[in-house]
């Protein structure tokens, strides 16, 4: 399935507007995937969350975060606007949340900043996924926490 049905309730908040429960669910998903699943010990609390807006959806019961990304305006993390920490929970992969998640993030950037370029740091194995959403390679491959990455830009 390319896209999940339109029943996704996206939530979007600035750092200061997140509740403790929302933040807990978001951080639990990020740690579960980026640290535990990927066997990659690194500091997820990287000092950027307070400068980002946060986009996510929870499961139907509102108990776990199923998909998440953070949004930065132009000039915050990069010269361009950017999306980061893009993640879906293992149990909902391949049901069509990834593309709508990134599209929603891009829509939030466009709504706030207009038609601006967007930069991401992507895991190399996802280059084709992001290319399908209009991103093009903008760097050589590099290692980040032992995982091959590349930068991509969508103009």
Instruction: Identify the CATH number of the domain in which residue 130 sits.
Output: 3.40.630.30
Q: Which residues are 88's β-sheet partners?
A: 67
Considering the chain, what is the average pLDDT of its residues?
94
Domain for residue 97, yes or no? yes
| Token pair listed for 1 | 């399935």
Q: How do residues 90-103 score in pLDDT, each as one tens digit? A: 999 989 899 999 99
Task: Provide the number of structural domains found in the chain.
Answer: 1
- pLDDT at 6 (0 to 100): 60
- pLDDT at 4 (0 to 100): 45
Residues 120-126, mean pLDDT to the nearest whole number = 96
Domain for residue 5, yes or no? no
- pLDDT at 82 (0 to 100): 98
Give pTM, 2 decimals. 0.93
| Token pair listed for 34 | 């980026």
Backbone region of residue 75 per phi and psi (left: phi > 0; alpha: psi in -120 to 50; beta: other values): left
Domain of residue 77 covers: 11-154
Domain for residue 118, yes or no? yes
- The model's confidence at residue 7, banded by pLDDT at 50, 70 and 90, is confident
- pLDDT at 2 (0 to 100): 38
Q: How do residues 38-81 score in pLDDT, each as one tens digit? A: 999 889 999 999 999 999 999 999 999 999 999 999 999 999 99
Distance of CA 155 to CAs 76, 98, 138, 151, Å? Answer: 17, 20, 11, 13
Domain for residue 112, yes or no? yes
Nearest to 55 by CA among 32, 28, 78, 22: 22
28 SS3 class: helix
Q: Over 70: is that where the pLDDT of 139 sits?
A: yes
129 SS3 class: helix
Domain for residue 6, yes or no? no
């Amino acid at each position: 399935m390319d896209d999940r049905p339109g029943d996704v309730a996206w939530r979007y908040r600035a750092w200061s507007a997140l509740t403790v429960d929302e933040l807990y669910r978001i951080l639990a998903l990020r740690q579960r995937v980026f640290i535990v699943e990927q066997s990659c010990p690194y500091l997820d609390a990287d000092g950027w969350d307070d400068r980002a807006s946060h986009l996510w959806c929870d499961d139907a019961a509102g108990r776990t975060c199923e998909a998440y990304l953070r949004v930065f305006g132009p000039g915050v993390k990069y010269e361009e606007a950017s999306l980061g920490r893009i993640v879906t929970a293992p149990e909902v992969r391949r049901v069509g949340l990834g593309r709508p998640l990134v599209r929603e993030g891009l829509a939030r950037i466009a709504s706030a900043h207009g038609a601006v370029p967007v930069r991401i740091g992507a895991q190399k194995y996802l280059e084709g996924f992001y290319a399908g959403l209009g991103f093009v390679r903008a760097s050589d491959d590099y290692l980040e926490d032992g995982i091959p990455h590349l930068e991509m830009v969508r103009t």
